[in-house]
Amino acid sequence: MATRIQGYYAILDVTGSSYNEAALLASARELLAARPCCLQLRAKQLPLADFCRLGHGLRILCTQAEVPLCINDRLDVALAVSADIIHLGQGDLPLGEARRILAATPAREMLVGISTHNLEQAREAQAGGADYIGFGPVFPTATKSDADPAVGLSALEKVAAAVSVPVVAIGGIALANIDAVARAGASAAAAIAAIQNTPDRAAAGRAIARAFGKGFIAE
């Protein structure tokens, strides 16, 4: 499955350590209904066994939906569930180490995305071989309690102009600001709260995708 990081970048954000598999898979199905450019599983507090179990479940759903599966933070989990993308933050396994591991597993092709919060990190990630970068938080966000201060649209614009890899805007993205985010040069946008707080999540995801010029035939 070809992976193109453009449009709506969906995140299944599992907060806390309690595990309700049926509810999480139902949420994933809702996100996948928008046909995002990938579905990222983020589960920072989940026990590793549950993280893996959910990852295997999403692997099946993503394959059925023809949507690439991305695992956040943990390359070991990404390898275990045969993810298409590993996404690493600044405090996670360094990019060079991830590249070293992936080079030793030639059977598997896995893209690497890196979270960045300023121009220097963005340039460093590209130089280190990131396939795309996340950039943000663009706007203030309530989803991450430990989020960095918002960087704003002008910083997004500078970063998008400075790197050639796709830039995924994240942090406070909503339908009200999505056109400005696209104009700033982002290739895709992740939206957690804006999607969670809307009655028709698939429609909201498709609206985000449309802002990046990726139209969908109405279902």
Token pair in block for residue 196: 């969670």
Site for a second copy contains 17 (CB under 8 A): no
Q: And the tokens for 71?
A: 């695992």
47 scored as a contact of a second copy (CB under 8 A): yes
Closest CA to 187 of 68, 13, 9: 9
Cβ closer to a second copy: 91 or 149? 91
Nearer to a second copy, 104 or 217 (CB): 104
Alpha helices in the chain, H assignment, sequence order: 21-32, 48-65, 75-80, 95-103, 119-127, 152-162, 178-183, 193-196, 201-211
- Whether 40 and 55 have beta carbons less than 8 Å apart is answered as no
- The contact mask relative to a second copy for 96-125 (x = CB under 8 A, - = no) is -xx-xx--xx-xx-----------------
State the minimum distance, in angstroms, from the CB of residue 92 to a second copy.
6
Q: Residues touching a second copy: how many (CB under 8 A)?
A: 22
What is the per-residue binding string for a second copy in 74-93, x denoting contact by CB under 8 A?
Answer: xxxx-xx----------xxx
Locate 134 and state its tokens.
């996340």
Give me the numbers of helices (H) and strands (E) for the chain, helices first please: 9, 8
Pair of tokens at residue 180: 């400005």
User: Which one among 22, 49, 142, 217 touches a second copy, defined by CB under 8 A?
Assistant: 49
185-204 binders of a second copy (CB under 8 A) = none
Which residues are within 8 A (CB) of 130 and not within 5 positions of it... i.e. 6 or more apart?
A: 95, 112, 113, 114, 165
Nearest-approach distance from CB 205 to a second copy, in angstroms: 30
User: Contact with a second copy (CB under 8 A): which of 18, 20, 21, 48?
Assistant: 48
Binding site for a second copy (CB under 8 A): 47-49, 52, 74-77, 79-80, 91-94, 97-98, 100-101, 104-105, 107-108
